[in-house]
Amino acid sequence: MGTGAAKIDEALPWGGLTPGLHEIAAAHGDAARAGFVASLLGRRPGPVLWCRSHRTALEAGDPYGPGIARLGLAPDRLILAEAAKPAELLWAMEEGARTKGLAAVVADGVMPDLTAGRRLQLAAEAGQGLVLLLATSRQSAASTALTRWFIASAPSRPEAEGPGRPCWTVELWRCRGGRPREWMVEWDDAALSLSVVAPMADRPLAAAVPVPAGPASGLDGAWPGRDQADRGGQDGGADGTDRRDDLGGRKSAAA
């Protein structure tokens, strides 16, 4: 399944997103993630199972029908499932991943551990389904996800007097069998298409940091320096994890 932008598809070893587990992260409260996910799902037919806990729904909000329609995802394709316990959410995701005909299973705020991730991956392979894990930051924990993305809102080209078309920086920071890459994309909600654009010289990049209001704030990974340092450490860990995952996979297959 293509992402909609040819340049991104080229960088992926499968020429798009392959059935399996994919992690898509963004800073807390950044709807760029919802935008990117909705634009992906809009390209794939079938209903979408959107799982989240009651708390996530309250804190981060739910997809809003009239808004996601502009991202190419018809609201009547969404099936929202809510569970009280993480175990029930994982069960619901696995059931969804096994079901043929779903466009994808999206899980907001659920981070499966390695075993659960492996189970999900196997279920997704069996059902040829896409499982998208929505995370709120670059999780340092090892993951069985095939790709890990970080999406951030980017300043848009202002039109007339207001904000212009949605712009996001899409960072593929880990990809099994691929290289980390980063793109700037723009969503055209008239043509329902995603296109890679060149970062513009006149973007106010220097000001693209929220001003921390107190000592407790700014923990959302908004500091570029810190991000960079984290990423360096995670890449090594993730590679190590990879090998362990594969071993685990063979084991479970043999069992």
Partner 1 sequence: MGLTAGMTLADARALLPDLTVADADPSADAKALAALTEWCGRYSPWCAPDGEDGIRLDITGCAHLFGGEAAMLADAIHRLWRFGIAARGAVADTPAAAWGWARYRRKSASPILGEGETAPLLPLPVAALRLEPGSIDTLGVLGLNTIATVVDLPRGPLTQRLGAAVLGRLDRMFGRAAEPISPHAIAEPWASRLIFPEPIGRREDIDAAAERLTAHLCRAMSLKGQGARRLILRFYRVDGAVQHIAIGTSRPTQTPTHILRLFAERLDQVEPGFGIEAIVLEATEAEPLGATQGALTAAGDIDATDLAGLIDRLQNRLGAARVVQLVPVESHVPERAEVREKAKAPSPFQPAAGPLPLPLRGRGAHESPSTSGRGRGPRSGRVRGPSILKSARPATLLPIPEPIDAIAPVPDDPPLTFRWRRIQYRVAFADGPERIEPEWWRREDQAKPRDYYRVEGTDGRRFWLYREGLYGMVEPPRWYLHGFFP
Binding positions for partner 1, 146-165, rule CB under 8 A: 152-156, 158-164
Residue closer to partner 1 (CB basis): 54 or 250: 54
Cβ atoms of 96 and 102 within 8 Å: the answer is yes
Give residue 232's Cα distance to chain centre. 20
Is residue 178 a contact point for partner 1 (CB under 8 A)? Answer: no
Q: Which two tokens stand for residue 7?
A: 């340049």
Q: How far apart are CA 163 and CA 150, in angstroms?
A: 22
CA proximity to 107, closest of 129, 75, 140, 76: 129
How far are the Cα atoms of 44, 147, 243 from residue 62, in angstroms, in the given order?
21, 24, 36
**Which helix H or strand E contains 193, and what residues bound it?**
strand 193-197
Q: Which two tokens stand for residue 100?
A: 């043929």
Is residue 199 a contact point for partner 1 (CB under 8 A)? Answer: no
* Residue selected from 179, 214, 225, 228 as contacting partner 1 according to rule CB under 8 A: 214
Q: How far apart are CA 136 and CA 60, in angstroms?
A: 10
Instruction: Give the contacts of 223 (CB within 8 A, at least 6 positions apart).
Output: 209
Is residue 209 a contact point for partner 1 (CB under 8 A)? Answer: yes
Residue with tokens 């399944």: 1
Is residue 191 a contact point for partner 1 (CB under 8 A)? Answer: yes
- Report in angstroms how near the CB of residue 37 gets to partner 1 at its nearest: 9
* Residue selected from 6, 7, 15, 45 as contacting partner 1 according to rule CB under 8 A: 45
Residue range at the interface with partner 1 (CB under 8 A); choices 137-145, 185-193, 194-202, 228-236: 185-193
For partner 1, what does the binding mask look like between residues 1 and 40, x meaning CB under 8 A?
--------------------------xxxxxx-xxx-x--
Dihedral angle computed from the Cα positions of residues 75, 81, 82 and 84, in that order, rounded to the nearest 10 degrees: -170
| Binders in 66-95 for partner 1, by CB under 8 A | 66-83, 88, 91-92, 95
Q: Which two tokens stand for residue 208?
A: 């693209």
Task: Indicate the SS3 state at residue 213.
Answer: coil
Q: How many residues bind partner 1 (CB under 8 A)?
A: 86
Q: How far apart are CA 226 and CA 243, in angstroms?
A: 27
| Binders in 106-145 for partner 1, by CB under 8 A | none
- Report in angstroms how near the CB of residue 254 gets to partner 1 at its nearest: 27
Q: Which two tokens stand for residue 209?
A: 């940091």
* Residue selected from 189, 227, 230, 242 as contacting partner 1 according to rule CB under 8 A: 189
Residue closer to partner 1 (CB basis): 116 or 167: 167
Residue closer to partner 1 (CB basis): 207 or 255: 207
Residue closer to partner 1 (CB basis): 117 or 129: 129
Residue closer to partner 1 (CB basis): 165 or 231: 165
Is residue 57 a contact point for partner 1 (CB under 8 A)? Answer: yes
- Report in angstroms how near the CB of residue 91 gets to partner 1 at its nearest: 7
